[in-house]
Chain A
Amino acid sequence: MAPGAASKETAVSKAPSPEKASWFLVSPLVLVLGVFLVLPILTIVTVSFWDYNEYNFFPAFILENYSYLLTSQVTLATYLKTFKFMALTWVFCAVIGFTVAYFLAFHVRSLPMQVVLFLICTVPFWTSNIIRMISWIPFLGRNGIANSTLISAGVIDEPLEWLLFSDFAVVLAFVHLYCLFMVVPIFNTMMRIDRSLIEAARDAGASGFQILTNVIIPLTKPGIMIGSIFVVTLVMGDFITVRFMSGGQSASVGRVISNEIALLQYPAAAASAVVLLITVLIMIGIMMRFVDIRKEL
């Protein structure tokens, strides 16, 4: 197939109908998505029905991968745990992200200052994800900086064990890693709010809080939703943060998949991946029902 040649020919002989032209225009995208998205997913779905042994996996049609996955207590426990991480991370990222974006958009008046402060927010992202996460470990440890500072300040007598290798540590790392994904889209939508709307609200006698809840939050909803989609999908798919920050003691869906891959159980991993994909798609579907992002953008 040569879309370039075909379209040229059509252009020479007669003007293409708008419908045909749009088909040609989307074909590169269709091709790219088809090869790099649809095909791999179809492969994963196919493999999820295959059978495997210690060192190999081979074509078959078995439902055992799914039947074990969907009936096992581990799956339920793992999903509940992952949802818990996701929900906590989302709440903290949303609150912090919104506050930071609000400060940048409405309190900082000059544009150069806004740009400077925004860039400062991105500074931590100049180093790798993993390094930012791992640097928490010596900080939070039993004999780490946090504990020794608290002890020398006389706040506590015994080191706090729950600071590291705990759910607290996992959520802390997630919030630290993914908060910016919330700040950016919210800041972006806030900057596009027509300032006269706020003036109008004030003229109509609205209090600061009323302006926030009745004007700013509704108008920032698309930004919040885009940020939420980032945070939710990143947390749902994560495996390394959970492993390091929980000291390997907590499971997440991503870790289960990575374990299965490590043990060469590719069909089982594929089945887990399909279930995770469906779960995340459902979640995004629900989120999309609250805000029509395409209309708002």
Chain B
Amino acid sequence: MTTGTGKTRINRRSLLKGAAATAGLAVGAGAVTGFPTVWAQNIKNVTLRQFGTGVSNLNEVAAKVKEDLGFTLEMTALDSDSVTQRAATQPKSFDIADIEYWICKKVWGAGNLQAMDTSKIKNYDKIVGTFRSGKLTPDSVIAQGTAPHTVGFVEGPEGKTFVDNESGWMTLIPTIYNADTLGIRPDLIGRLIESWTELLNPEFKGKASILDISSIGIMDAAMVCEAMGEVQYGDKGNMTKEEIDKTMAIFTEAKKNGQFRAFWKSFDESVNLMSSGEVVIQSMWSPAITAVRSKGIPCVYQPLKEGYRSWGGGLGLSANLSGIELDAAYEYINWYLSGWVGGFLMRQGYYSAVPETSKNFMTEDEWGYWFEGKTAQKDIVNPQGKVMEKAGAVRDGGSFYDRMGAVACWNAVMDENKYMVRKWNEFIAA
């Protein structure tokens, strides 16, 4: 009995000693090379709590983190309103926030997130230009709205205000992004759709839908009004009261005329509306299109001549993180950008922040289909092994540069946000 206790004590003590030594080694190694080469026993006890929207909070990622990095990543998937709420009001409930850039603009001021030192981010230089200088290619025009680079950097670790250059302190590390447009049912429409104006075309009376998340819905509405030539905007992502009034007046009238079948708020609602045939044209998100198509129902993510409404998300670190947890978080981010997750997400139709590392985790055919807009040589399967597209298919909208190069505006939060929300509520109640 006594010997037993003694043994245990010695064991525990030597274990602690060893752990401390390896921890020091690991931290040292991390700082020098940025590689997670040596893993201390105690980093395996680290648990990072991440929350975000369902799009990137996937259990496969958590499982792979456990496998590759050894520590535990707990995922919580929420809708975008709840994500904003949690980031702003419950700082102790998370270590890593997976949020969109416009949410970042909203909640950064609450001081619950800390900026990241880009010198610790190994693949920083390979991150797509959109998230650094704002330009996808050197001659790109920066789109309207909350473009990611405008809220991507602050002046220092404690920075509260955004700066317009690559300061070395990043608010969010970009993870995924995409270009959104209207989804249509080609079988029920039977003709070419090429402009945002079609959403309010009386031809689709009672068969159209728009999403009821005010900050995104208003952008789709603005794309439509601008395409109709009814409203000219200075910046669709930062409208004046007058522009908001005009936009909502047009949509309220359409609503009263019975243009809309329903408004949707969650991903599955949009899938159900489309697959049941209640709606033939609506604002939609890319994986929702895939979900409809995987039921064998034709559905197209229609590129439109006025361009796309784009969005991007990224990982932010909780201000409470320090010590070994902070190191683990940096390792996690470096791992995130190293390709596996990127490949995993790109095979679902999103884009990764560092496409060139993701390429290593995709077949040539997959890369050709998803990124380069080439014709699929074989059936394209998603990460779960389900066939998404038959051989011969071409991605709606073409290549990465065709799609991300045609972004007209980014999801945004406006200066007149409060006013806009009230007007949106009036529209819903009308």
Q: B429 to A165, Cβ gap below 8 A?
A: no
Q: Does B426 contact A (CB under 8 A)?
A: yes
Main secondary structure of the interface of A (DSSP, over half): loop
Cα separation A296 to B428 with both chains bound (whole Å) = 44
Q: A259 to B425, Cβ gap below 8 A?
A: yes
Q: B278 to A164, Cβ gap below 8 A?
A: yes
Nearest A residue to B82 via CB reads A262
Query: Smallest Cβ distance from B269 to chain A, in angstroms?
Result: 8
Stretch at the interface among B23-31, B60-68, B104-112: B104-112
Q: A263 to B214, Cβ gap below 8 A?
A: yes
Q: Determine the chain B residues whose CB is within 8 A of the CB of A78 once the complex forms.
A: 429
Q: Does A176 contact B (CB under 8 A)?
A: no
Q: Does A132 contact B (CB under 8 A)?
A: no
Cα separation A249 to B285 with both chains bound (whole Å) = 20
Nearest A residue to B418 via CB reads A265
Q: A249 to B85, Cβ gap below 8 A?
A: no
Q: Does A292 contact B (CB under 8 A)?
A: no
Q: A54 to B425, Cβ gap below 8 A?
A: no
Q: Does B276 contact A (CB under 8 A)?
A: yes
Nearest B residue to A76 via CB reads B429
A55-B110, A165-B278 given as contacts; is B262 within 8 A of A251 (CB)?
no
Q: Does B49 contact A (CB under 8 A)?
A: no
Q: B422 to A165, Cβ gap below 8 A?
A: no
Q: Determine the chain B residues whose CB is within 8 A of the CB of A237 once the complex forms.
A: none
Q: Determine the chain A residues whose CB is within 8 A of the CB of B88 once the complex forms.
A: 54-56, 264
Stretch at the interface among A106-114, A135-143, A194-202, A215-223: A135-143
Residues 52-98 of A contacting B (Cβ, < 8 Å): 54-56, 68, 72-74, 77-78, 81
Q: B278 to A263, Cβ gap below 8 A?
A: no
A74 contact from B106, B264, B418, B422, Cβ within 8 A:
B422
Interface string of A250-266 (1 = CB under 8 A from B): 11000110010111110
Q: A54 to B413, Cβ gap below 8 A?
A: yes
Q: Does A248 contact B (CB under 8 A)?
A: yes
Q: B426 to A263, Cβ gap below 8 A?
A: no
B262 contact from A56, A73, A248, Cβ within 8 A:
A248
Query: Smallest Cβ distance from A205 to chain B, in angstroms?
Result: 55
Q: B262 to A141, Cβ gap below 8 A?
A: no
Query: Smallest Cβ distance from A75 to chain B, in angstroms?
Result: 9
Cα separation A137 to B278 with both chains bound (whole Å) = 11
Cα separation A263 to B426 with both chains bound (whole Å) = 15
B263 contact from A54, A247, A265, Cβ within 8 A:
A247
Highest count of chain B CB atoms <10 Å: which of A142, A249, A261, A264: A249
Size class of A's contact patch? 20 to 34
Q: Determine the chain B residues whose CB is within 8 A of the CB of A74 once the complex forms.
A: 422, 425-426, 429
Q: Determine the chain A residues whose CB is within 8 A of the CB of B293 once the complex forms.
A: none
Q: Determine the chain A residues whose CB is within 8 A of the CB of B272 once the complex forms.
A: 137
A54-B107, A73-B426, A262-B85 given as contacts; is B206 within 8 A of A249 (CB)?
no
Q: B426 to A249, Cβ gap below 8 A?
A: no
Q: Determine the chain A residues whose CB is within 8 A of the CB of B82 once the complex forms.
A: 262
Q: Determine the chain B residues whose CB is within 8 A of the CB of A251 once the complex forms.
A: 425, 428-429
Q: B85 to A141, Cβ gap below 8 A?
A: no
Nearest A residue to B106 via CB reads A54
Q: Determine the chain B residues whose CB is within 8 A of the CB of A247 once the complex forms.
A: 209, 260-264, 273
Q: A138 to B276, Cβ gap below 8 A?
A: yes
Q: Does B417 contact A (CB under 8 A)?
A: yes
Query: Smallest Cβ distance from A267 to chain B, in angstroms?
Result: 12
Q: B429 to A81, Cβ gap below 8 A?
A: yes
Cα separation A143 to B280 with both chains bound (whole Å) = 13
B109 contact from A55, A77, A165, Cβ within 8 A:
A55
Q: A249 to B417, Cβ gap below 8 A?
A: no
Q: B260 to A249, Cβ gap below 8 A?
A: yes
Cα separation A74 to B429 with both chains bound (whole Å) = 6
Residues 166-214 of A contacting B (Cβ, < 8 Å): none
Q: Determine the chain A residues whose CB is within 8 A of the CB of B276 once the complex forms.
A: 138, 141-144
Cα separation A144 to B273 with both chains bound (whole Å) = 12
Q: B278 to A264, Cβ gap below 8 A?
A: no
Query: Smallest Cβ distance from B131 to chain A, in angstroms?
Result: 22
Q: A248 to B212, Cβ gap below 8 A?
A: yes
Q: A264 to B84, Cβ gap below 8 A?
A: yes
Q: Determine the chain B residues whose CB is within 8 A of the CB of A164 once the complex forms.
A: 278
Residues 236-285 of A contacting B (Cβ, < 8 Å): 243, 246-251, 255-256, 259, 261-265
Nearest B residue to A161 via CB reads B206
Residues 193-240 of B contacting A (Cβ, < 8 Å): 206, 209, 212, 214
Q: B265 to A56, Cβ gap below 8 A?
A: no
Residues 387-430 of B contacting A (Cβ, < 8 Å): 413, 417-418, 421-422, 425-426, 428-430
Q: B81 to A263, Cβ gap below 8 A?
A: yes
13 additional A-B residue pairs with CB within 8 Å, beyond A55-B107, A137-B272, A256-B429: A54-B106, A54-B109, A55-B106, A68-B422, A142-B276, A144-B276, A247-B209, A248-B265, A249-B262, A249-B263, A250-B429, A259-B425, A262-B81
28 contacts between A and B (CB under 8 A): A54-B417, A55-B88, A55-B107, A55-B110, A73-B426, A74-B422, A74-B429, A77-B429, A81-B429, A137-B272, A141-B276, A141-B278, A142-B276, A143-B277, A144-B276, A164-B278, A243-B265, A247-B261, A247-B262, A247-B264, A248-B264, A249-B260, A251-B429, A259-B425, A262-B82, A262-B85, A263-B81, A264-B84
User: Using a CB–CB distance below 8 Å, which chain A residues touch chain B?
Assistant: 54-56, 68, 72-74, 77-78, 81, 137-138, 141-144, 161, 164-165, 243, 246-251, 255-256, 259, 261-265
